[in-house]
Amino acid sequence: MYIGNETNRIDALDKVVGRPIYAEDLSVPGALFGCVFRSVRPHALIRRIDASAALASSGIVKILSYRDIPGENIFGIIKKDQTYLAEDRVRYVGEPILIVLGQTEEAARKALRLIEIEYEDIDVISDPFISGGSRTLIHEKGNLLSHRKVIKGDIEKGFDEADVIVEHTYTTAWLDHAFMETESGVGYPDNKGRIVVVSSTQNIHYKQKEISKLLAIPEENIKVIQATTGGGFGGKLDVTVEGFLALSVYHAKRPVIMRYTREESFLSNTKRHPLYIEYKTGARKDGAITAIKVSIIGDTGPFASYGETVCLRAAVHATGPYEIPNVHVDSKMFYTNNPVSGAMRGFGVPQLAFAHESQMDEAASMLKLDPFDIRIKNALKKGSLTATSQALHNSVGIVETLKKIEPYWRKRTRESGKTGFGLGCMYYGIGNTGVSNPANACLTITGDGKIALHTGACEIGQGSDTVLAQILQEALGLKMDDIVLVRGDTDTSKDAGSSSASRQTYISGGAVFDAAKKMRQYLDEKGFYKGRSIRDIYNSEADKKLLEHNGFFDPPTTPVDPETSKGSPYATYAFATHMTEVEVEKETGSCRVKKVYAAHDVGRAINPKNIRGQIYGGIAMGVGFALMEEFIPGKSGSFDNYYMPTSMDMPDVEAFIVEDQEPTGPFGAKGLGEPALIPQAASIVNAIKDATGVRAFELPCHIERLKILLEKAKR
């Protein structure tokens, strides 16, 4: 059995001893260094650019503007509305305008300071609540990016049946991904005349397609390779340095390196969407939730990025992992001149979990019920209908995660008046929402008697390389030494989709499993399982194409109705329960997270060690989301004023794995990347309420905000 083994990650030793070459470490002889000149205005017309002094300065080779783009000056994963280089208008502070190519980094950065630009300011829209009604348009078709609804049952009837009604408003802030490695890469022309880009990325095939449109050259003339990547969390899904590198190589005809400083990364990278959530919950005396009504207003900044996805996914998950008969969710995403918001671990669901789990505790308090009991009463089960009226038939493990936590909840004891305990539950649809999002994989037999796994799945630290190899081992009955991983190169792999939406184990794993079934049948026919060697099979096969077997998997989903979101947007869901113990110094507002019990339904545990690692990482990020992290435009410039958890803030963790197998997943597996984060902030906020009697309705609940809440409670 290879599935369920605590196999060490196949990249672990190399990373520990420092062998991998990250994108930031890349160097090419004779390479130029590229820097981006960016807007200092949030909204303005560009009246004049004078780059003559910069171009004349020592060591400068070229300065590129939008006029130097041979193809389309536009990109976007869902909606193409973002320019690589601003044309006649800028829409946010940090928007790229020019690329400066220098012989050295020092020369290029010095030249940036010599560029003069004349702006004509336009009214700035910084509030999504006024964006929709503003006469100032950020885009020609208006300032509303997306409007999605989720409607189920009769909302007014649901509230009429309720004995109590809970209404509160919740707000969350921008967060930076704060990955250890900033956006970096190198581009160069190869000996075939192609443009090669090697970068820190989460999706190689998407970047290849966008570069093709940017340069107006065929995709086969572009090669994208993922370098060893120092973190992503969604922040490396959009095009970052790749387009600039490709454009620079196209004009310079020589290698180019780009490497953002931390300040540039903070200024330019997408942020977690700040959401404003009005939440109304109705419940009967026995704890049954009869209705929820939710209004969500989101700020996507000046460009779409993943705003449409967040708008819909937040709405679909607004109920949490509970069966609620009457649902009305109204979700809107607006353009503003604030920072661009994009994909960040959870696509809006962590924000909604903060709201729906706070509501569950508030309802329990009004009804004088135990917070655990109200959750288990309303939890989804097999046969339940979700908010989109999707019937759940398999792999619905939320009740089992609650039962894993129940003994610790029942036995909880307070060491002092400072201690509090809180629960947080979640569910999360695996993969993209209501659309096709397939993955491909290919297996080949090599001349040295090994099986090569070709996949475009990007390993960004989540452990997908190891998990996909384990799936292949189990399917073929091979040792790890018999497998060669060929990964992260558009030349050697077909599209596996992005490393996002917790999809790679389930979807790329499904593609690997599909290819492995075909390869196993072939090996069986050739006598491998009766003792014949793979090398012998290779040598005896005259037609080497027969040695190749392709796999494909696309989760069975349905599009959601545009008016009600009725449908089956995900083939499977992950479920989790976290219980958190905190200690609050009421005199100062300081909160320490002491211990977390985390139970996750993963379908089938491919690698329990990797699962625990994901849970620990998600908890750490959840501590930051709840208590520390807040990107403030114009103020948050680097790590000196953006506060994040360190090892000293990490609580003790007990992780529990629930295996309610998913029939469509490889050996029953689902995904875990984002679920590990989603319930954590909610459980911390509920624990703070338990410890102090005050509830935070705004995140982060940092020391100053908590101190103010505690002071108000004394009055």
Residue 496 sits in a domain of what CATH number? 3.30.365.10
73 and 136 Cβ atoms separated by less than 8 Å: no
Residue 513 falls within a domain, yes or no? yes
Q: Which residues contact 582 (CB under 8 A, 6 or more apart)?
A: 419, 420, 421, 422, 591, 592, 593, 594, 684, 687, 688, 691
Q: Distance (Å, rounded) from C-alpha 307 to C-alpha 331? A: 11
Q: Are residues 360 and 297 in the same domain?
A: yes
Q: Distance (Å, rounded) from C-alpha 128 to C-alpha 238? A: 22
What is the per-residue pLDDT for 122?
97
Residue 147 falls within a domain, yes or no? no
Task: Write out the residue range of the structural domain in which residue 195 sits.
Answer: 23-122+183-259
Residue that finishes a domain, picked among 229, 259, 289: 259
Residue 164 falls within a domain, yes or no? no
Q: Are residues 421 and 472 in the same domain?
A: no
Q: Distance (Å, rounded) from C-alpha 444 to C-alpha 425? A: 43
Q: Distance (Å, rounded) from C-alpha 301 to C-alpha 307? A: 9
Residue 1 falls within a domain, yes or no? no
Q: Would you state the structure tokens that stand for residue 150, as one six-digit string? A: 């989720």
CATH of the domain at 198: 3.90.1170.50
In Å, the largest CA–CA distance within the chain is 86
- Report CA-CA distances (Å) from 593 to 172, 378, 392, 528, 615: 20, 27, 34, 54, 15
Q: Are residues 309 and 339 in the same domain?
A: yes
214 backbone dihedrals φ, ψ, rounded to 5°: -60, -45
Residue 7 falls within a domain, yes or no? no
Q: Are residues 202 and 76 in the same domain?
A: yes
Burial of 432 (0-12, 13-18, 19+ CB in 10 A): buried
Residue 3 falls within a domain, yes or no? no
DSSP 472: H
Beta-carbon count within 10 A of 286 CB = 11
Q: pLDDT averaged over consecutive 10-residue blocks of the chain (715 residues)?
A: 92 94 95 98 98 98 98 97 98 98 98 98 98 96 98 98 98 98 98 97 98 98 97 97 98 98 97 98 98 98 98 98 98 98 98 98 98 98 98 98 98 90 98 97 97 97 96 96 96 97 97 98 97 96 96 97 98 98 96 98 97 97 98 95 96 98 98 97 98 98 98 91
DSSP 339: P
**pTM higher than 0.85 for the full model?**
yes
Tokens 């995709």 -> residue: 219
Q: Are residues 209 and 294 in the same domain?
A: no
Q: Are residues 504 and 420 in the same domain?
A: no
- Helix, strand, coil percentages in the chain from 3-state DSSP, rounded to 5: 30, 25, 45
38 backbone dihedrals φ, ψ, rounded to 5°: -120, 155
Q: How many residues does the chain have?
A: 715
Q: Distance (Å, rounded) from C-alpha 355 to C-alpha 340? A: 23
Q: Which residues contact 707 (CB under 8 A, 6 or more apart)?
A: 588, 589
Residue 368, sorted as left (phi over 0), alpha (psi -120 to 50) or beta, turns out to be left
What is the per-residue pLDDT for 416?
82
Q: Are residues 304 and 327 in the same domain?
A: yes
What is the per-residue pLDDT for 417?
83
Q: Which residues contact 365 (CB under 8 A, 6 or more apart)?
A: none
305 backbone dihedrals φ, ψ, rounded to 5°: 45, -120
26 and 257 Cβ atoms separated by less than 8 Å: yes
Q: Are residues 107 and 239 in the same domain?
A: yes
594 backbone dihedrals φ, ψ, rounded to 5°: -90, -45
How does DSSP assign 17-64, residue by residue?
HT---BGGG---TT-EEEEEEE-S-SSEEEEEEE-HHHHHSTTEEEEE
Residue that finishes a domain, picked among 553, 581, 596: 553
457 and 442 Cβ atoms separated by less than 8 Å: no
Q: Are residues 96 and 233 in the same domain?
A: yes
What is the per-residue pLDDT for 269?
97
Strand spans (E) along 602-672? 652-658
Q: Distance (Å, rounded) from C-alpha 210 to C-alpha 208? A: 6
The number of distinct structural domains making up the chain is 3
- Among residues 558, 577, 684, 657, the alpha carbon closest in space to that of 320 is found at 577
238 and 206 Cβ atoms separated by less than 8 Å: no
What is the per-residue pLDDT for 518?
98
User: Strand 256-259 relative to strand 32-38: parallel, antiparallel, unpaired?
Assistant: parallel
Q: Are residues 232 and 315 in the same domain?
A: no
Helices (H) and strands (E) counted in the chain, each on its own, are 18, 23
698 backbone dihedrals φ, ψ, rounded to 5°: -135, 135
102 and 90 Cβ atoms separated by less than 8 Å: no
Residue 240, sorted as left (phi over 0), alpha (psi -120 to 50) or beta, turns out to be alpha
Residue 330 falls within a domain, yes or no? yes
- Among residues 573, 572, 462, the alpha carbon closest in space to that of 233 is found at 462
Label each residue of 188-247 as H, E or C: EECCCCCEEEEECCCCHHHHHHHHHHHHCCCHHHEEEEECECCCCCCCCCCCCCHHHHHH
Q: Are residues 581 and 701 in the same domain?
A: yes
Q: Are residues 619 and 587 in the same domain?
A: yes
Residue 365 falls within a domain, yes or no? yes
- Among residues 449, 499, 459, 513, the alpha carbon closest in space to that of 479 is found at 449
Q: Distance (Å, rounded) from C-alpha 288 to C-alpha 70? A: 60
Residue that finishes a domain, picked among 533, 553, 573: 553
